[in-house]
Amino acid sequence: MLYKRSSELFAKAQQVLPGGVNSPVRAFNAVGGNPIFIKEAAGAYLTDEDGRKYIDYIASWGPLILGHTYPPVIEAVTERAKKGTSFGIPTEVEVQIAELAVAMVPNIDKIRFVNSGTEACMSAIRLARGYTGREKIIKFIGCYHGHSDAFLIEAGSGGATFGTPNSPGVTQGTAKDTLLANYNDLASVKALFEANPQQIAGVIIEPVAGNMGCVLPQEGFLEGLRQLCTENGSLLIFDEVMTGFRLAKGGAQEALNIKADLVTFGKVIGGGLPVAAFAARAEIMDHLAPTGAVYQAGTLSGNPLAMSAGLAMLTEIEKHPEVFESLAKKTAYLHAGLEKLFAEAGIPVQINRFGSMCSVFFTQEPVTNFISAQRADHGRFKKYFHALLSRGIYLPPSGYESYFLNDALSYADLDTTIAALKDAVEKGEI
Nearest in space to 76 (alpha carbons), one of 430, 312, 364: 312
For residue 133, how many other CB atoms are within 10 A of its CB? 9
Q: Three-state SS for 357?
A: strand
Q: What are phi and psi of 313, to 5 degrees?
A: -65, -50
Q: Three-state SS for 264?
A: strand
Distance CA 156, CA 165 (A): 10
Contact between 101 and 112 (Cβ < 8 Å): no
Distance CA 138, CA 196 (A): 11
Distance CA 394, CA 57 (A): 6
Q: Which of 139, 267, 330, 382 is catalytic?
A: 267
Q: Which of 45, 54, 144, 183 is catalytic?
A: 144
Q: What are phi and psi of 377, to 5 degrees?
A: -85, 95
Residue 330 annotated to the active site: no
276-280 and 200-205 as β-strands: parallel, antiparallel, unpaired?
Answer: unpaired
Contact between 225 and 185 (Cβ < 8 Å): no
Residue 83 annotated to the active site: no
Distance CA 421, CA 415 (A): 10
Distance CA 148, CA 171 (A): 12
Residue 57 annotated to the active site: no
Cα atoms found within 13 Å of the Cα of residue 264, Cβ hemisphere only? 32
Contact between 218 and 225 (Cβ < 8 Å): no
Q: Which of 48, 177, 185, 239 is catalytic?
A: 239
From residue 383, give the alpha-carbon distance in Å to each of 69, 360, 362, 419, 428.
31, 13, 11, 16, 10
Positions marked catalytic: 144, 239, 267
